A and B are shown apart, each in its own frame.
Chain A
């Protein structure tokens, strides 16, 4: 059974760097068909796609235009996981963060992590 297990802090201060990890079981971060995504959800912004990483003979990383200056996704093949780093967080980054799998690069997400509530507050 394929599962995604998220980990990372829930409370942060403004200007800090958010780091979240998504551990994959039952699939591989190096899959030649899947793409590994981060998505967040807040009452004010709804569901918002942040970025993805995927392997097609080499590693690719695509980011939402609105996040490009602050976001980094990294695959970790040794531990079969991938991570999100978001720099210079503000209270507007308060949201539930999900990792999710797009199984075929077909623009849909068939597997989601349980979500991590990240609160940014001084």
Chain B
């Protein structure tokens, strides 16, 4: 199972928006509404930010939003803040044989 493809980096100034793409196939992103997004600060465990494409766990600011079109999912961070600077990973369910596949990761820099 190949990893999902993300851009290596993205950046924006405080208050701006940044959108990260996550491209898969019809066997993963395109086939299921089970896309999730994780934020990871250096030396820390990943933190769930979005699940089931568009849902936000309790405590995650509504500045974070998710979407999907075909085989590509996206995470948008609006109103960028300094603490949003981190690595972001997407993930998708990919069927019963190898259920979970992750993205290659995107480093978000707040300028």
Q: Which residues of A contact B (CB under 8 A)?
A: 37, 39, 46-49, 52, 62, 64-65, 98, 106-110, 112-115
Complex CA gap A65/B98 in Å reads 6
- Return the CB mask of B28-72 against A: 1 if under 8 Å, else 0: 000010101010000001111001100001000000000000000
Contacts of A110 in B (CB 8 A): 48, 51, 57
A-B contact pairs, 30 of them (CB 8 A): A39-B100, A46-B89, A46-B104, A46-B105, A47-B46, A47-B89, A47-B102, A47-B105, A52-B99, A62-B96, A62-B99, A64-B98, A65-B97, A98-B45, A106-B51, A106-B52, A107-B32, A107-B34, A107-B91, A107-B99, A108-B91, A109-B36, A109-B46, A109-B48, A110-B51, A112-B45, A112-B46, A112-B47, A113-B45, A115-B45
State which of A39, A62, A65, A108 has its C-beta within 8 Å of the C-beta of B36.
A108
- What distance in Å separates the Cβ of A64 from its nearest Cβ neighbour in chain B? 6
Closest to B3 in A: A46
How many residues of chain B are within 8 Å of chain A by beta carbon?
27
